[in-house]
């Protein structure tokens, strides 16, 4: 049985730390923060019809629904990748996404070719600003 474990990638909030040193009263203070990259899509998984799928008829597909906060000209879903677009098994892809509207695709048991295990599923959206990422 394959287990689908969802992860929500986000290209909007990057984990890159901005470190700024402020000198105040002779003491050095380090301020860390996050920065936002405008226009890069944030993909949010809304639901999946099954968390676990297998080769058994009726249990071999899971419908996944997601949204993007930005219009996208293309998208792709990858299983078992590294969280970077193009990495892993392609389990869904498509064209235009309208911001804040549901998009769905099915993950079939036959697409998960790395044996019985848990498969992280990442969905990526592409806009004029670039691809979303969970990195």
Structure pTM? 0.71
- The b/e string for 72-97 (b: 16+ C-beta within 10 A; e otherwise) is beebbbbbbbeeebeebbebbeeeeb
Q: What pLDDT is attached to residue 127? A: 94
Number of domains within the chain: 1
Q: What are phi and psi of 111, to 5 degrees?
A: -80, -15
pLDDT by 10-residue block (mean), the chain, 135 residues: 47 35 41 50 92 91 95 95 92 96 96 91 93 75
Task: Tell me the residue range of the domain where 79 lies.
Answer: 2-131
């Amino acid at each position: 049985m394959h287990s689908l474990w969802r992860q929500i990638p986000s290209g909007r909030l990057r984990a890159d730390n901005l470190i700024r040193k402020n000198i105040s009263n002779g003491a050095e203070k380090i301020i860390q923060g996050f920065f936002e990259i405008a226009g890069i899509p944030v993909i949010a998984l809304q639901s999946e019809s099954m968390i676990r799928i297998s080769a058994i008829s009726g249990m071999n597909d899971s419908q996944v629904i997601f949204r993007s906060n930005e219009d996208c000209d293309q998208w792709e879903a990858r299983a078992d990748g590294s969280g970077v677009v193009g990495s892993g098994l392609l389990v869904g892809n498509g064209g235009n996404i309208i911001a804040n509207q549901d998009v769905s695709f099915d993950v079939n048991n036959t697409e998960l070719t790395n044996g019985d295990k848990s498969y992280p599923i990442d969905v990526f959206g592409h806009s004029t600003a670039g691809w979303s990422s969970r990195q």
